[in-house]
Amino acid sequence: DAEITQSPRHKITETGRQVTLACHQTWNHNNMFWYRQDLGHGLRLIHYSYGVHDTNKGEVSDGYSVSRSNTEDLPLTLESAASSQTSVYFCASSEGGQYVQYFGPGTRLTVT
Amino acid sequence: QKEVEQDPGPLSVPEGAIVSLNCTYSNSAFQYFMWYRQYSRKGPELLMYTYSSGNKEDGRFTAQVDKSSKYISLFIRDSQPSDSATYLCAMSETGGGNKLTFGTGTQLKVEL
């Protein structure tokens, strides 16, 4: 069955370190999205991509970057991790032109 | 003021009760409306998807959209303990780049 996976599921890192969270989908969806979920804020969009080599900033993109070298993967990089980036991160994907998004299981990141 | 407002709860109901979950929004351009269910420490999963105004029913779940009032609802009939989760509303506008705007979620607990 097609699916979307995230790794690692849990990560503890130190302030200032670079961290990369992986997202892999096997639906062959063109659209991929990264969100963070925090209490009181819900899901907030970090970055998104409509296809290979396309990336766009969301509402909370500062301190994060993404690159899209193939259809299946959209890794999220925290350039220099900060305690404010402690959160649960979700990757999602959707077919081109479609609004329904399908979510991965999430990565719980703690920055100490 | 947030673009999408949702009462965070928690909402506690007895098994078998009818549950009503609601979201209000301010952007009149929203045309696509979704409800996601999120179990603790899991990713959101799509429950219902509606376009524009009207009702949609799927088993015990009914989604209603009232665009004139900028108000959407999710009704759960004969609620079960397995319905205990956080329910997120999400919406998008035509030409909005397939991006979703989420409510903060309502935590529901169905008690035996």
pLDDT tens profile A9-26: 999 999 999 999 999 999
Q: Per-residue DSSP letters for B30-41? A: EEEEEEEEE-TT
> Minimal Cα–Cα distance from B39 to chain A, Å?
10
Of B6, B8, B49, the CB nearest to A100: B49
Tell me what pLDDT residue B86 has: 97
The distance from CA B60 to its chain's CA centroid, rounded to whole angstroms, is 14
pLDDT digit string (tens) for chain A, length 112 residues: 779 999 999 999 999 999 999 999 999 999 999 999 998 888 999 999 999 999 999 999 999 999 999 999 999 999 999 999 999 999 999 988 888 999 999 999 999 9
Q: Please answer whether residues B36 and B90 qualify as being in contact, where contact means their C-beta atoms are separated by less than 8 angstroms.
A: yes
A33 vs B contacts (CB less than 8 Å): 99
C-alpha B104/C-alpha A40 separation (Å) is 6
